[in-house]
Amino acid sequence: MKDVLILGIETSCDETAAAIVKNGREILSNIINSQVNIHSQFGGVVPEVASRKHIENVGPVVDAAFREAGLEYRDIDAVAVTNRPGLIGALLVGLSFAKAFAYGLNRPLVAVNHLEGHIYANFLEHSGIEFPAICLVVSGGHTSLVYMSSIGEYELIGQTRDDAAGEAFDKVARFLGLGYPGGPAIQKAAEKGKPGRVVLPRVFLDRNDFEFSFSGLKTASMNEWNKLKRKGIANVNDLAAEFQAALVEVLVEKTIQAAKKYKVRSILMAGGVAANRELRNLMKNRSQELGLPVYYPSLQLCTDNAAMIAGNAHISYVKGDFAPLHINAYPGLLSL
């Protein structure tokens, strides 16, 4: 049976990425051009700047993916691209390039949901994941709980009502002067502090559902910081440690509740925030109490990348589920 080689392109936010994956599992190349240094001076991603940098970078990044894989353009069997959700301008750059590339090579185009890509990153590195499963998707723009009856079969059972976990990390880190991106900055500060010295709310833990809300935690953190400063006892490391603990506890407990209700056999994590050490450790500890394995990608595959897009596209390729060249980009989730 012939190997299937798929080029993936990812430009949903501020990483310009391209990768080539064989048979949905083997990563032949995975190139990521990050814009973190550019956006850090603004304390967050500036959509117009991100779009312009994608225009500059997408061609060279795709060429680099082919060089790393040792392949020619004509060797690929399909072109996969993220078309939702994300920053609309950024998405359109990658989608337009992918359409032209697929048309020029007379290859099918596969449109990929960015969150499905994050979930699929687990299957690029782990075998033997048993179903049904629950996946916690946590990133800068999304916080969702997804029930999986099998690979590629998703049911959204809960999501954030306001700020996503990564967004809350970024906003609180910026307010505290810790820098950008917020997740790593707060994690670093938290290592020098101690949770519990400041008390912050565990929002929505008293609810019998799988919804999240982090806007209130963000506001409570800012109010507490101002209060401590007025008293002259502000310690940024302690506040960072408590903020991280409060956010992580909610993520983990909601996931564990879902795992119990749906009687799953595996717990997965995906997205940039899944790289957080406190989240990984607490999820491992709580899942062990249920006798369930926890899977998450390596650090490089937690952040936005194109290998997860090319890998996920293999499911659609096998089904013959291709996208028309007039397909559009969408900033919202639409559905899973």
Is residue 194, in this structure, part of any structural domain at all? yes
Is residue 335, in this structure, part of any structural domain at all? no
For tokens 């998703």, what's the residue? Answer: 154
3-state class of 313 per DSSP?
helix
151 & 114 share domain: no
List the CATH number of the domain containing 38: 3.30.420.40
pLDDT surpasses 80 at 1: no
115 & 155 share domain: no
162 & 264 share domain: yes
**Token output for 293:** 């394995």
Is residue 71, in this structure, part of any structural domain at all? yes
156 & 89 share domain: no
| Phi, psi (deg, nearest 5) at residue 266 | -150, 150
pLDDT surpasses 90 at 335: no
Q: What is the pLDDT of residues 216-265, one digit of tens each?
A: 999 999 999 999 999 999 999 999 999 999 999 999 999 999 999 999 99
109 & 211 share domain: no
Q: Amino acid letter at 66?
A: F
Is residue 328, in this structure, part of any structural domain at all? no
% of the chain beyond a pLDDT of 90 = 93
| Structural domain boundaries, residue 274 | 130-292
- 117-156 burial, b for 16+ CB within 10 Å, e for fewer? bbbbbbbbeeeebeebbbbbbbbbbbbbbbbbeebbebee
Is residue 163, in this structure, part of any structural domain at all? yes
Stated pTM of the model: 0.95
115 & 171 share domain: no
Mean pLDDT of 265-290: 97
Q: What is the pLDDT of residues 170-201, one digit of tens each?
A: 999 999 999 999 999 999 999 999 999 999 99
**CA geometry: angle at 262 spanning 293 and 244, to 5°?**
60
